[in-house]
């Protein structure tokens, strides 16, 4: 992947709040730890809701395609993907400076 495509993918994945929240939740996990994605976003992703469908059909596939997560499509369990280290410094910046970001950004 070219450097430009890498940056585009990074910013595309960070542009949506649900994806940022999933990634920040995974950053708190051990690299090999597997969790159901609703454990990371239980407040907004109950099964059967439109938001749950949005995660399953949009956010999780995008993050998996970028390699930032490994997603089991059957169980909806996620873990840090092979490219997670690329995005981790940005996640740390978001967490460290969350009070300086606009409301609702994280």
How is the chain split into domains, by residue range?
3-97
Q: What are the pLDDT digits (tens) for 21-57?
A: 899 999 999 999 999 888 876 455 555 666 678 888 9
What's the fold here for domain 3-97?
Arc Repressor Mutant, subunit A (1.10.10)
Looking at per-residue confidence, does 101 or 33 come out higher?
33
CA separation for the pair 54, 51 (Å, rounded): 5
What's the rounded mean pLDDT across residues 55-80? 94
User: Do the beta carbons of residue 20 and residue 97 sit within 8 Å?
Assistant: no
pTM, full prediction: 0.83
């Amino acid at each position: 992947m070219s450097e430009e495509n890498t940056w585009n993918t990074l910013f595309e994945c960070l542009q949506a709040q649900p994806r940022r929240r999933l990634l920040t939740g995974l950053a708190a996990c051990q690299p090999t730890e597997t969790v159901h994605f609703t454990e990371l976003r239980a407040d907004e992703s109950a099964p059967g809701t439109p938001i749950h469908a949005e995660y399953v059909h949009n956010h999780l596939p995008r993050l998996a395609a970028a390699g930032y997560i490994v997603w089991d499509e059957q169980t909806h369990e996620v873990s840090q993907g092979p490219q997670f280290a690329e995005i981790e410094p940005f996640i740390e910046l978001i967490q460290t400076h969350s009070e300086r970001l606009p409301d609702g950004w994280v």
